[in-house]
Amino acid sequence: MPMAAIVELAAIRKSYGIGTPVEAEVLHGIDLRIGQGEFAALTGPSGSGKSTLLNIVGLLERPTTGRLEIDGRDTSVLAESDLTELRGRTIGFVFQFHHLLPGFTALENVMMPRIIERGAADDGAQAAAVELLRRVGLRGAEYKRPSQLSGGMQQRVAIARALSMSPRLILADEPTGNLDTHSADDVFALLREFNHDFGSACLIVTHDPRLAQRCDRQVEIVDGRLTDGSSLPAI
pLDDT at 115: 76
Contact yes or no for 163/132 (Cβ under 8 A): yes
- E strands, 116-158, are none
Rounded CA gap, 53 and 146, in Å?
29
Rounded CA gap, 76 and 69, in Å?
8
Could you tell me the end-to-end alpha-carbon distance of the chain, in angstroms, rounded to an integer?
A: 7
Rounded CA gap, 235 and 35, in Å?
9
pLDDT at 70: 94
Q: What pTM was computed for the model? A: 0.85
User: CA of 178: how far to CAs of 60, 101, 111, 185, in Å?
Assistant: 23, 18, 24, 12
pLDDT at 2: 58
Question: Long-range contacts: 47-52, Cβ < 8 Å, 24+?
Answer: 48/221, 48/222, 48/223, 48/224, 49/14, 49/221, 49/223, 49/224, 50/205, 50/221, 51/173, 51/205, 52/14, 52/26, 52/27
> Over the chain (235 residues), what is each successive 10-residue block's mean pLDDT?
83 92 92 94 91 93 95 92 89 80 92 77 82 88 93 86 88 80 82 87 89 91 83 51
pLDDT at 107: 93
pLDDT at 235: 43
Domains within the chain, CATH numbers bracketed: 5-100+166-226 (3.40.50.300)
Contact yes or no for 90/69 (Cβ under 8 A): no
Contact yes or no for 15/30 (Cβ under 8 A): no
Rounded CA gap, 67 and 13, in Å?
9
